[in-house]
Amino acid sequence: MPPVLALEGVSKSFGAVAALRDVRLELRAGEAHALVGENGAGKSTLVKILAGVHAPDSGKVLLDGAAVTFGGPAEARAAGIAVIYQEPTLFPDLSVAENIFMGRQPLRRGRRIDSAATRTRAAELFTRLGVRIDPDRPARGLSIADQQLVEIAKALSANARVLVMDEPTAALSGVEVERLFAVARSLRDEGAAVLFISHRFDEVFDLCQRITVMRDGRWISTDDAADVTVDTVIRTMVGRELSTLYPKVAAEPGDTRLEVRGLTRWGYFDDVTFDVRGGEIVALAGLVGAGRSEVVRAVFGIDRPDAGEVRVEGRRLPLGDTPAAIAAGLALVPEDRRQQGLVMELSVERNATLPRRWALAKAGLLVGGAERRSAATWAERLQVKAGHPTDPVSTLSGGNQQKVVLAKWLSTQPRVLIVDEPTRGIDVGTKAEVHRLLSELAANGVAVLMVSSELPEVLGMADRVLVMHEGRLVADIARAEADEESVMFAATGQKEEA
């Protein structure tokens, strides 16, 4: 029996850049198949070919053994291929239900949209996913986790034969991930072919029967998951051992750089108090919804808290004043790099210098040479892989976009660096580079406050772990005492037994 969907010898170039070269892939009915590789390996381009966004320059796309050519995403969807992309693609001013059924709304007589049926079907999908989201709620303002769940519901609504999941769990909590996996397993067991793309290897081995590795746009290997280990997969991907993922440099903590006292924002977090010293990496851990991102946004002045104070090197900052926070030496790398960290239409060099545009200007005019030199310095230091500094930042892989966000803020020479999910949705190789950079910054005296949902990252990088539960800070655990059990007990509101 032929595979449901397959690629044979597929190549795709964009100008002089070869994104895919002679790639092959087979997706079988009733099987979950993992696709792994570093950012820039060609995974996203492959997904877009399956989705009908791009047509291959050479090679074949086979559906049930017959060659097909998709004229666009609508034709791919009609063929039963549904894609959950890494970054949500919702219309912010439409309701959740309207987003799910965009272009496929239930109709009444007279070809009018049946709004009641649209809401009802959306509610049924959320019930199937085991989540509570109001179908009438506008998509604007949804959390990353909820946006991803809407994308999942959109894919499920199409009754797909092939479900492509591109980093669908990057912003989900453990409970939400398990709900998603339950749905994916159900679809797989009903005969659907699932292509799962993730940088989280525990999820890959938990869900998938086969694993395909790509590198530099080429197919490298396809193996049964039972025949390989995490170490062998990583070596195939990047040629380095797993032990190098957390290159922690020992540093002696210095003076207190950041003081947070009694910070409260009603409905989000309450009475949060902590310090971060120069030379320290302090992790803010907890489950999704615990209030971690809301706390760091308030510290940085994006959201105005209702009570409390923030001090940098002893100087009290005005609450809700981001320019004052930046002037005091604070920098924030946000969770959502596309919506909050970058201006996607602007060039790489313009994004990398945005916070310093006035410092680089002369007589109020931005000097191109100064901008290019500053961007080039940080691009080289962070090893940003880009075709040209004047290319739109949207053309970069996710990992390189994250490096540009880091470059933007590191160019301000911050005293306190806040990073919210710094390695979300990036590959294992780029993760190691980001971890190395954070460790070097701490060793050079920068105070680093890191929000992370990945326990291995928290335990591998943090000198102290602050754990939040339901908007409150419930534990402060030293590196020597921190382990998965102690962090998870605190994050779930339980007290660890002696």
Q: How do residues 409-456 score in pLDDT, each as one tens digit?
A: 888 889 999 999 888 767 777 788 889 889 999 999 999 999 998 888
- Quick check: 243 pLDDT over 60? no
- Quick check: 277 pLDDT over 90? yes
What distance in Å separates the CA atoms of residue 212 and residue 476, rounded to the nearest whole number? 41
- Integer angstrom CA distances of residue 456 from 12, 202, 247: 36, 11, 13
Q: Which residues does 481 contact at the CB level (< 8 Å), separation at least 6?
A: none
Identify the CATH class of 256-491.
alpha beta
Question: How is the chain split into domains, by residue range?
Answer: 5-90+142-239, 256-491
Compute, in degrees rounded to 10, the torsion defined by CA atoms 149, 153, 155, 156: 130
pTM beyond 0.75: the answer is no
Average pLDDT value for the chain = 86
Higher pLDDT, 427 or 364: 427
**Cβ 50 vs Cβ 5: under 8 Å:** yes
Residue 410's pLDDT is what?
85
Residue 431's pLDDT is what?
81
Confidence of residue 498 (pLDDT cuts 50, 70, 90): very low
Higher pLDDT, 126 or 59: 59
Task: Give percent above pLDDT 70 in the chain.
Answer: 91
Among 269-278, 321-330, 368-377, the least confident range: 368-377
CATH T-level topology, domain 5-90+142-239: Rossmann fold (3.40.50)
Q: Tokens in use for 200? A: 């989280």
Q: Most confidently modeled of 22-31, 106-115, 120-129?
A: 22-31
Q: Tokens in use for 407? A: 């470059």
Confidence of residue 9 (pLDDT cuts 50, 70, 90): very high
Q: Which residues does 257 contact at the CB level (< 8 Å), separation at least 6?
A: 276, 277, 278, 312, 313, 415, 416, 447
Q: For 112-121, what is the mean pLDDT? A: 90
What distance in Å separates the CA atoms of residue 114 and residue 109, rounded to the nearest whole number? 9
CB atoms within 10 A of CB 301: 22
What distance in Å separates the CA atoms of residue 143 and residue 339, rounded to the nearest whole number? 12
Residue 359's pLDDT is what?
63
What distance in Å separates the CA atoms of residue 113 and residue 47, rounded to the nearest whole number? 31
- Quick check: 238 pLDDT over 70? no
Between helix 115-129 and helix 174-189 the angle, nearest 10°, is 100
**Residue burial 340-365, b: 16+ Cβ < 10 Å; e: rest:** ebbeeeebbbbbbbeebeeebeeeee
What distance in Å separates the CA atoms of residue 24 and residue 386, rounded to the nearest whole number? 26
Q: For 399-404, what is the mean pLDDT? A: 83
Q: For 304-308, what is the mean pLDDT? A: 95
What distance in Å separates the CA atoms of residue 466 and residue 285, rounded to the nearest whole number? 6
Higher pLDDT, 357 or 95: 95
